[in-house]
Structure 1
Amino acid sequence: MKNLLKQLVETESPSHEKAAVDRVGSIVAGECRKLNAQVEIIPNKKTGDHVLAKWGNDSKNGVLILCHMDTVFPLGTLKTFPYKEADGKIHGPGTLDMKAGIVITLSAISSLLSKGTAAPRPVTALFTSDEEIGSLTSRKHIESLAREASIVFVMEGALLDGSLKTWRKGVGEFNVKVKGRAAHAGGDHKEGRNAIEEMAHQVIAIQKLTDYEKQTTLNVGIINGGTASNVVPEESTIEVDVRVMQPGEWERLEGEMKKLKPALDGTSIEVSGGLNRPPMPFGEVSQAAFKKASQIAKDVLGIELKAGGTGGASDGNFVAPLGIPVLDGMGAIGEGYHSDREYIFANSLEERAKLLAALIENW
């Protein structure tokens, strides 16, 4: 498992580098073929190709496993943040998010095949190329395959205490553009309409839409505007990250954003954006799936599963609204996502592979 993980991590695969992601895809496809999978390469023009692997003749009522091959780390990251194993931890870009999840998936399937164990239903694994940038090309495949599945396992990293991720917030973004009127800051200041000043009013209004009781947050994370300090800025833009948990919250926020009005005469506001991933609540369907998984883990492995959640999103967010049972955080245990502190606990590779194999075999 460590050898394969090292190979995958040292094959860098930032989302926007198609050739790089395809190199990982080639490795994954090759490993799947070694396990006698039916492998299909789903082509993309701008982002990496997706890899679809199937064990069994029919995917209906089967097990669907979701992995992604892309990372947030640019090419060359390995020079300053190399793959390294020390003190029971494995460090490196993409170890946790989520190349360890790929290794765990393939190892679990390999162990079942080596035992001659036939899963009670078909197994399908989808390895996507664009999860870190919104899953724009993979979403339709995820949803189509999920509709045929009886259970979906998402191989993102577990919580630090090993808990599965049974709920996730939905994620969206608003983009706001303010138009003012440019003027010379010294000679014609009065005739200008300062777009940055106007945007300052809007930033405060938008931040106030956060409602912690509803688990709704808005974060103005990027602001731009102006051309020079001696010019009254004609334009300013912001990007707003939005996280929602409760049904109807996104629609409420859309309505509030449309109500935004200029505070300064002679300025205008334009709002755009959308919900990229809907919420994944811990509802009745997911609760029943977690209860079943917990019983299997206890009976087969003698371990107690724990449930948790996060404000981050994954491809599991696309599955939950379909009414299909989904268990996320099935991957390795570690921390430091998207940073040069990213690592996994080495022993979690085998532990999580055993868990996934037990759930596939006994679901």
Structure 2
Amino acid sequence: MGGLVQASRALSVRLPNTTVKRTAGAEWTIVAELKTLTSHLDWLEAQYDEMVANLAYLANINSGSYNIVGLERIAAELSHLFGGLGGQVHRVALEPTVRIGDDGEPRVCEFGPLLNVYKHPSAPLRVLLVGHMDTVFGTEHAFQRVERVSPTQLKGPGVADLKGGLLVMLKALECLERSPWAGRLGWEVVLNPDEELGSPGSAAHLRAAAGRNHLGLVYEPAMANGALAAARKGSGNFTAVVRGRAAHAGREHHLGRNALRAAADFLIAVDELNARRSGVTVNPGFIRGGGPVNVVPDRAVVRFNIRLSDPVDEAWVLERLAAINQVINARDGITLALHGDFGRKPKVLDAAHRRLFDWVRRCGRTLGLNITWRDTGGCCDGNNLSAAGLPNIDTMGVIGGGLHSVDEYVELPSLIERSRLSALLLLGLASGRCDGAAFKGEAP
């Protein structure tokens, strides 16, 4: 398919500062006031073909989390697109981190660039918009190209998670910048290259950005039925490296210390934490060790993920892991080193988050959408922002399904539907129809 279609440079028209008065608690009044903004959304309807073309173009560029060349290319394309908004565009090099390889040895993990775009940073109310450039599909994966499977569906790597959301974000901001209220709402965009890895390189940047803003919007895809994610579980990724002693399996079996057996015992003990505490789940996902069967294996590597709903559960889990680790390390000739942590804390649906959901629901009602939300066991950068004290909604992207599989698809009409939803919220905040002052007291 062809190259990117460049968006037109945003227009900025100023109107006198006005204050909107409304009857407290009158839902119909709020929706009626939001309705006055919808004429500014009409421009979005004409953006459909451009958005579909750009989505296909971006999704056809492989940007797997470890494909630095592909991420560099995506960053360049997005710098071009978001640069059309007239804000400051910065490309940020992320510091490498150390990751334990499948062989149990430390490896330096490098990341693609992070993009930071901002405009009107001195505005009294500021919103942070977050999305990721990486996908789970590496260069070796068979799923590489976009396919139009029906007039309303596009199938391809990252079309929903999250490249469709990046275009929704872009068009919503462009709509704001074309409006009479441009400049009354400050905004900052963070596009990171490592979300699918748990954002190990960009976590500090997300935390810093959360501290500069009053509320956040993350453009992960909505549920397949259009619902938004509410509370989210926290997540921890761990790797256990078990070392024993190699020996001839026949002649000197008694001299060996079997690391694979110790790793299996550790894995069973960790798995048995399931059902011990409500909301805590453990998923052993990887084990590697051994080699020729006539050699006692001296090394094994185990990877597992733990999810939890309540922040206080983290201490309980870490205590149990330490106890299991101690038991294994007490064995003669066996050592177990545990690596990892809870990179994402649980996202709790507190009062500030509920206020933001209410405003999105009202914007949806104004547009004829029934916006609902439900808790989920998944996690994303919305967890990071919440942990930094920033109320946010983290499924403002497109509607789609088949995420992280060769069946990933996007419902193309949702490109416009969700752009309108985000744009109306931004216009509501900028014009005063949405009560942004309620979030200022919640800012970190």
Quote how far apart the aligned CAs of 1:343 are: 0.5
For residue 334 of structure 2, the aligned residue among 267, 271, 295 is: 267
Equivalent position of 1:40 in the other structure: 90
AA of the residue aligned to 1:210: N
* Farther off after superposition, 323-332 or 275-284: 275-284
Equivalent-residue separation in structure 2 for 1:169 and 1:60 (angstroms): 32
2:235 is aligned to 171
Answer yes or no: is the 8 Å Cα contact 1:120–1:361 preserved in 2: no
* Bigger radius of gyration: 2
Give the SS at the match of 2:343: strand
Aligned CA distance change for structure 1 residues 267 and 140 (closer, same or farther; 3 Å): closer
Q: Pairwise mapping of residues 66-77 of structure 1 onto structure 2 (< 5 A)?
A: 66-75=130-139
Alignment partners' CA distance in 1, 2:93 and 2:290: 41
Secondary structure in 1 matching 2:54: helix
Mapped partners of 1:302, 1:267: distance in 2: 63
> What's 2:261 paired with?
197
The one-letter code sitting in structure 1 at the alignment partner of 2:293 is: S
1:361 is displaced (CA, Å) by 1.0
Please give the per-residue CA displacement for 1:104-127, whole angstroms capped at 9, x wherever unaligned.
011112223334442642121111
Deviations 1:2-23 (A, max 9, x none): 1111121122212222222121
Residue of structure 2 equivalent to 1:27: 77
Partner of 2:15: none
Normalised by the length of structure 2, the TM-score is: 0.77
Cα shift at 1:235: 2.2
Q: Which has the larger displacement, 272-281 or 56-65?
A: 56-65
Q: Does 1:311 align with 2:399?
A: no
| Letter paired with 2:292 | A
Query: Which residue of the partner structure matches residue 212 of structure 2?
Result: 148
Q: Secondary structure at the match of 1:337?
A: coil
How many aligned residue pairs are there? Answer: 361
Q: Deviations over 1:271-300 (max 9, x none)?
A: 2321111111222221222122212322x3
Structure 2 residue identity aligned to 1:160: A
How is 1:78-97 mapped onto 2 (pairs within 5 angstroms)?
81-87=144-150, 88-97=152-161
Cα distance change on mapping 1:83 and 1:253 into 2, 3 Å: same
1:222-263 C-alpha deviation (Å, 9 max, x unpaired): 111213100112222211111111112122111111112038
Q: Indicate yes or no: 2:348 matched with 1:281.
A: yes
Q: CA RMSD in A?
A: 2.0
Matched letter for residue 92 of structure 2: I
Question: Residues of 2 paired with 1:25 and 1:339: CA distance?
Answer: 23
Measured against aligned partners, the alpha-carbon deviations of 1:61-110 in whole angstroms (never above 9, x if no partner) come to 30110011111212365x75421222221111111110001110111122
Q: In the alignment, which of 298, 309, 316 is matched to residue 252 of structure 1?
A: 316
C-alpha spacing 1:42/1:272, structure 2 compared with 1 (3 Å): closer
Query: Taking structure 1 as reference, are residues 171 and 354 closer, same or farther at Cα in structure 2, changes over 3 Å only?
Result: same
Q: Partners of 2:140 and 2:146 in 1: how far apart?
A: 12
Give the Cα separation in 1 of the matches to 2:240 and 2:149.
Answer: 46
CA separation in 2, counterparts of 1:22 and 1:169?
31
User: Shift of residue 210 of structure 1?
Assistant: 1.7
Counterpart position of 1:301: 367
Q: Is the 8 A contact 2:60 2:144 kept in 1?
A: no
Q: Indicate the residue corresponding to 2:398 in structure 1.
A: 332
- Alpha-carbon distance between aligned partners in 2 of 1:234 and 1:110, rounded to the nearest angstrom: 58
1:173 match: secondary structure:
strand
1:241 aligns with 2:311: no
CA distance in 2, matches of 1:222, 1:94: 25
The equivalent position to 2:425 in structure 1, one of 337, 359, 363, is 359
CA distance, structure 1, for counterparts of residue 143 and residue 67 of structure 2: 19
Counterparts of 1:86 and 1:227 in 2: how far apart (Å)? Answer: 45
User: What residue identity is the alignment partner of 1:61?
Assistant: L
Report the TM-score, using the length of structure 1 for normalisation.
0.93
Amino acid at match of 2:222: A
Counterpart amino acid of residue 73 in structure 2: R
Aligned match of 1:345: 411
| Cα 1:211–1:84 shift into 2, 3 Å | same
Offset, 1:344:
0.7
What secondary structure sits across from 2:346 in the alignment?
coil
Give the corresponding residue for 1:8. Answer: 58
Letter in 2 for 1:65: L
Does the C-alpha gap of structure 1 residues 213 and 190 become closer, same or farther in structure 2, counting only changes over 3 Å?
closer
Q: 2:358 aligns with which of 291, 297, 300?
A: 291
